[in-house]
Amino acid sequence: MALTPVPVALRALLGSVPAPTAPETLPLAQCAGRVLAEDVMALRTQPPFANSAMDGYAVRADDLLPANELLVIGESAAGRAFAGRLEPGQAVRIFTGAPMPDGADTILIQENADGVGSTTIRVRESAPKGKFVRPAGLDFRKGDVLLGAGRRLDSAALGLAAAMGHPTLHVRRKPLVAILATGDELVLPGEPVGPDQIVASNSFSLAALVEQAGATALDLGIARDNYPDLATKIERARTAGADVLITLGGASVGEHDLVQEALKRQGMELGFWKIAMRPGKPMMTGLLGPMVVVGLPGNPVSSIVCGHLFVLPLIEALQGMPSADRDRSEPAILGCDMPANDEREDYLRAELVLTEAGWQVTPFEKQDSSMLGTLARADALAIRPAFAEPAKKHAPCRIIRLR
């Protein structure tokens, strides 16, 4: 079978998502990190009235001649407006956020007035008409749509939704991602490790990755390399209603690589298998009923790199984010010479340095896909396209930032 290029595989995977997860209504305080299921319209105008941006005096700009004296006739504070009307020659003591009194058009900040606190003030320095006045609707008006469906609710978006008057929001249910490690050799961290055993790490790294992307991880533990155990644990993912099943390991071509066959026996429709990338070549995708299956290679670095390239966009697509298929790479320059590349696109663990010419990326010398220490040190993946010619230090390249 020919190797599938990364963008082809990614498009196919995102295209296989049956539908975004169902919407649910949550109180605002529980919406951080969730994705909006519908557009959000302002239920009110902000600010609802013209107000002062500074502490000082509400005045008429026409009265702001240096040394002019103004009679202070009252006070407007936030939550306690001045009820009367300002006439020529008058001022109203005002504080930040307080409503502008009728008849006033400008704020004289108290630093530019003499006699602050007394019944008469003297203009020290003039100000143009409208200075430090926030007109009603400066931020938004009732009916404005300020947050679109598919927007992830970061702190600014949540603050805005609150200011628009929404106590609850319609957001996508968190995708449920079942994670199944496979392998006779695996033991959990902290368990006794036999001479031919390996500590399982991939479930932890993938769970962290999917949770950062807004999903809930469901750890199915470790399936041993036999069909009955694999079948039981795959079944558990289906019963739990997982939107995605990530399998780890057993993806390659050896006699103990049973995962694909186990999934097919349960009815999985294979999407693709084997991608033109390094690491991550044996990755597989499929659909088992409505559940999207992603079979990741067992090598720890391969599984995490595939997680960044495929699983993160998949989880965004499941949350209805329209930008899920965006190009996540950024420009950089090489920090060293690079040899020609073969038919697999390379994702090299690398460190970044910010230079006058932008990010300079230098791949680590050792790139084995078992080396988690190197991956944890890496700032980015340096991308070397398939069949790339040799490249010189400072040549342009693309990177994907890891943190």
Ligand X SMILES: Nc1nc2c(c(=O)[nH]1)N[C@H]1C(S)=C(S)[C@@H](COP(=O)(O)OP(=O)(O)OC[C@H]3O[C@@H](n4cnc5c(N)ncnc54)[C@H](O)[C@@H]3O)O[C@H]1N2
DSSP H helical ranges for 101-179:
155-163
CA gap 306, 294 in Å, rounded: 10
CA gap 282, 272 in Å, rounded: 10
| Nearer Cβ to ligand X (99/279) | 279
- Smallest distance, ligand X to C-beta of residue 262, A: 13
279 binds ligand MOO (CB under 6 A): yes
CA 192 to the chain's CA centroid: 38
Residue of the chain from 96, 126, 168, 252 that contacts ligand X (CB under 6 A): 252
286 binds ligand X (CB under 6 A): no
Total number of residues that touch ligand X (CB under 6 A):
25
The secondary structure element, H or E, covering residue 168 is strand 168-172
DSSP 338: B
201 binds, among ligand X, ligand MOO, none (CB under 5 to 8 A by kind): ligand X
DSSP H helical ranges for 167-220:
202-212
| Nearer Cβ to ligand MOO (261/342) | 342
- Smallest distance, ligand X to C-beta of residue 247, A: 9
Distances (CA, A) of 299 to 220, 223, 366, 380: 19, 16, 15, 18
CA gap 266, 228 in Å, rounded: 11
Using DSSP bridges, classify how beta strands 120-123 and 40-41 pair: parallel, antiparallel or unpaired: unpaired
CB 125 within 8 A of CB 139: no
Distances (CA, A) of 130 to 51, 104, 106, 254: 11, 9, 5, 76
Question: Binding string, 181-220, against ligand X, x = CB under 6 A?
Answer: x-x-xx-----------x-xxxx-----------------
Using DSSP bridges, classify how beta strands 216-223 and 176-182 pair: parallel, antiparallel or unpaired: parallel
Total number of residues that touch ligand MOO (CB under 6 A):
8
64 binds, among ligand X, ligand MOO, none (CB under 5 to 8 A by kind): none
Residue of the chain from 369, 374, 380, 397 that contacts ligand MOO (CB under 6 A): 369
Query: Within 284-303, which residues bind ligand MOO (CB under 6 A)?
Result: 297, 299, 302
User: In 10 A of CB 191, how many CB atoms?
Assistant: 11
320 binds, among ligand X, ligand MOO, none (CB under 5 to 8 A by kind): none
56 binds, among ligand X, ligand MOO, none (CB under 5 to 8 A by kind): none
367 binds ligand X (CB under 6 A): no
- Smallest distance, ligand X to C-beta of residue 29, A: 36
Residues near ligand X (CB under 6 A):
181, 183, 185-186, 198, 200-203, 248-253, 257, 279, 281-282, 297-300, 302, 369
Residues near ligand MOO (CB under 6 A):
278-281, 297, 299, 302, 369
